Structure 1
Amino acid sequence: MHNDIRPFTLDIPQIEIDYLHDRLARARWAAEVPGTGWERGVPLDHLRELAHYWRTGYDWRAYESTLNAFGQYVTDIDGQRIHFLHVRSDHPDAKPLLITHGFPSSVAEFLHLIEPLVNPAEGQAFHVVAPSLPGYTLSTPLSDTGWAMARTARAWVELMSRLGYQRYAVHGGDVGAGISGLVASLDGDHVIGVHVVTDPLTAANTATFLPGMADRLNPDDPIDKLILTRMETFQRDGSGYLAIQNTRPQTIGYGLVDSPLLQLAWIAEKVKEWTDLPVDRDQLLTTASLYWFTGSGSTAAHTLYDQAHSSDWGAPPTVPQGFAVFGADETVRRVVPAPANAHWTEFPRGLHFPAMEAPAELAGDLRKFFGPLT
């Protein structure tokens, strides 16, 4: 068993970058039906512009250097190669913080969040540990089946133990929120608290998969009616990407690994639908590039299949819990299971990707929640 932690330097061969540019230059474009827009998928003009910039304007080497400057490492846990960023603070009171991305994302989601956490102008500082999910980008190849949230959480507990952190904080969004809650549940003796981000759309979408949630909501109550409407809309119009990955990940995987346009559209669609504040285009393309260069669109899909077929949800955490709600409205507290003494902060703007949309606000809430905890 390999318990060692090894420094990792990202260095994509130039031939791979040239190949990406060549594929983008020779792309075959799907015809667009007149009079249609985002309701049928990523519009042609939007994807053309984004792909053109990916080929002619985006500087992969600059972002490769940025990731390398953070400090990258790999280790093997439960037979799986795990890649992670590890950025230590110079502040003497810094607390270890494990942050986990979701789908369709990568550690590049945290490019603008890490610095204000590690070197804040004031308030609590953190040593940041940001792993890549198994099967995603640099945590590849995927070793075997079964990498659902619970198994990943157990790997994260082992990772923090290997790093020597006896007391640490955990944070995540999307799939990363579920994993963070499981880490807190599994390792409550070492976790000081768990903080997750959510938004009204995500809360309603998640409620779709919670057994009995629809039955607990009253269609005559205006707030419950709004939740039920969002759940129905997600099932009808917003869950196609998930349905195919939850059932046929290998089939969609061929296209994601072979076509940079499909991989780009697969990510860009969700970023557009799940944000309401501007997202750095280069940051989005860094994630798209990581998926493309590692061919991990397929293996990420396989982990979603494994989660959809898993019944290992763990127990609720008993450590302090914090929730940051972006694009807040009255529905989230009705849906999200939380203890009565939970920390809540509600932000009027931002949605699913606050680390990209509103990193200063998210960093501030992490300092506010974890600062008093020991």
Structure 2
Amino acid sequence: MTQTNTKQLSNELSTEKDAIRPFHINVPEEEIIELKRRIIATRWPEKETVADQSQGTKLETIQELARYWACEYDWRKIESRINSYPHFITEIDGLDFHFIHVRSKHENAMPILIAHGWPGSIIEQMKLIDPLTNPTAHGGSESDAFHVVIPSMPGYGFSGKPTATGWNPKRIASAYSELMTRLGYTKYVAQGGDWGSIVVNFMGVQEPKGLIGIHTNMPEVIPPEVDAAIWSGNPLPAGLSDEEKKACEQVRENKFAYAFQMGTRPQTLTGLADSPIGLAAFMIDHDWKSHALIARSFAGFKEGLTRDDVLDNITLFWLTNTAISAARLYWENTVAGVSFFAAKGVKLPVAASVFPDEMYEAPKSWTEKAYPNLIHYNKLPKGGHFAAWEQPEFMTSEIRTAFKSLR
């Protein structure tokens, strides 16, 4: 991976560590050729012995993905699209952070930081940029406009790869707050799903100067005693409503095999840095509903994510060789002792959007307790874990509505 003239340009602009350096993607053609060679040379396992996805990514799905990836997929399309937006790198807390930064033409636009998770990237949120920054062209009004900042997490995409321990969600939250300050924003909001939700929840806990509210599409609302019972496999506490019991069972049914592996032995996954098909099979086996959606996309069904959507993201991980550096975030989180779904103690204004195919549907009863300053709660009719990617229209509408009262 190369960044065209970035170092030279940075030296010309500033010698300060907090310099904001323009960035450009230009993947050498030989890297694309090598990727396809490795895909074609894949040594396949035998077919699974079950009819469903209970043993993981099905052979039929991954072989069709491989065929399309090697024979039809074009990385240059997404590369060109990424480069069509202004994006930059700046050093924060000793690490380079890559980010997209698109300012709206509307004078009173609200600054928003949008945070991705795993196995996501900036690509996951790019469908939101135009509707949020140019709302009048997408069914909104000038009063709906946002200035959009989308950073790549440490170890992900074009951000730096930590060479020492300590880059957990709390530290990333602090770095994101510094990024918004460095960009000159004195009043802003933050949005996130997956790790992005955990990070912006910690931004809410830390209450940095300028942050006035957060929005999450993966609300972290499970009471600590219930969260402990879910993960230990012990009986659930008495007195839960049917909706709350359903949420607990939804968490349990996802198994989270990928999270346990990355949370305890990320370096053991070295094979993901050597095999593009190994990487792809691992990345698409996330929660069972999004896994099923992706499998359907490679079976020819058009809904939510397209085949190109899925491969844009996987190819970015491959070309930046970030499978292991990204996985270490789970290890860092394990060391830090942070729960994925337990309430974090946010006191700032919070908006929550609940999508039906999320890893669990956050009950309103828990959401109101977890976020005492809840300004918006809505259950959507369609969408899952990667809501901004799958259902950008719903997500755009939710973000506009969520922060309307804070303008």
In the alignment, what sits opposite 2:66? 51
User: For structure 1, which runs of at least 5 residues remain unmatched after alignment?
Assistant: none
Q: SS of 2:167's equivalent?
A: coil
Residue 225 of structure 1 and its aligned partner are, at CA, apart by 3.2
In the alignment, what sits opposite 1:273? 289
Residue 189 of structure 1 and its aligned partner are, at CA, apart by 3.2
Among 250, 261, 266, the alignment partner of 2:277 is 261
In the alignment, what sits opposite 1:198? 218
Point out the more displaced range, 330-339 or 56-65: 330-339
Alignment TM-score, normalising by the size of structure 2: 0.83
Among 343, 366, 377, the alignment partner of 1:344 is 377
Counterpart mapping for 1:180-329 below 5 A: 180-198=200-218, 210-211=227-228, 217-218=237-238, 221-234=241-254, 238-252=255-269, 254-270=270-286, 273-274=289-290, 278-311=304-337, 316-327=345-356
In the alignment, what sits opposite 1:131? 151
TM-superposition CA deviations, 1:33-65 (whole Å, max 9, x none): 344431111111111111111112111111101
In the alignment, what sits opposite 1:332? 363
Q: SS of 1:70's equivalent?
A: coil
Counterpart amino acid of 1:130? Answer: I
CA contact (8 A) 2:354 2:379 kept: yes
In the alignment, what sits opposite 2:29? 14
Counterpart amino acid of 1:250? Answer: Q
Matches of 1:184 and 1:133 in 2, distance apart?
Answer: 18
Residue 318 of structure 1 and its aligned partner are, at CA, apart by 2.6
CA, structure 1 residues 51+306, in 2 after alignment: closer, same or farther (shift >3 Å)?
same
TM-superposition CA deviations, 1:108-151 (whole Å, max 9, x none): 00121111111113231111100001011211322321111000
Q: SS of 2:89's equivalent?
A: strand
Counterpart amino acid of 1:46? Answer: T
Q: SS of 2:212's equivalent?
A: strand
Matches of 1:239 and 1:209 in 2, distance apart?
Answer: 18
Counterpart mapping for 1:129-208 below 5 A: 129-198=149-218
Matches of 1:33 and 1:312 in 2, distance apart?
Answer: 34
CA, structure 1 residues 261+330, in 2 after alignment: closer, same or farther (shift >3 Å)?
closer
Q: SS of 1:301's equivalent?
A: helix
Q: Identity of aligned pairs, percent?
A: 33
Counterpart amino acid of 1:294? Answer: T
Residue 68 of structure 1 and its aligned partner are, at CA, apart by 0.8
Counterpart amino acid of 2:92? Answer: I
Matches of 2:117 and 2:227 in 1, distance apart?
Answer: 19
Counterpart amino acid of 2:392? Answer: P
Residue 187 of structure 1 and its aligned partner are, at CA, apart by 3.5
CA, structure 1 residues 372+255, in 2 after alignment: closer, same or farther (shift >3 Å)?
same
CA contact (8 A) 1:112 1:356 kept: yes
Residue 219 of structure 1 and its aligned partner are, at CA, apart by 6.9
Among 100, 114, 131, the alignment partner of 1:99 is 114
Counterpart amino acid of 1:332? Answer: P
Counterpart mapping for 1:72-111 below 5 A: 72-111=87-126
Q: SS of 1:28's equivalent?
A: coil
CA, structure 1 residues 232+358, in 2 after alignment: closer, same or farther (shift >3 Å)?
closer
Point out the more displaced range, 304-313 or 168-177: 304-313
Alignment TM-score, normalising by the size of structure 1: 0.90
Counterpart amino acid of 1:284? Answer: V
Counterpart amino acid of 1:371? Answer: K
CA contact (8 A) 1:219 1:228 kept: no
In the alignment, what sits opposite 1:41? 56
TM-superposition CA deviations, 1:203-237 (whole Å, max 9, x none): 77x97994467777437743343234334333xxx
Number of residues of Structure 1 aligned to a counterpart in Structure 2:
367
Matches of 1:72 and 1:107 in 2, distance apart?
Answer: 11
Q: SS of 1:75's equivalent?
A: strand
CA contact (8 A) 1:150 1:312 kept: no
Matches of 2:350 and 2:221 in 1, distance apart?
Answer: 16
Matches of 2:240 and 2:338 in 1, distance apart?
Answer: 34
Point out the more displaced range, 339-348 or 146-155: 339-348
Matches of 1:321 and 1:92 in 2, distance apart?
Answer: 25
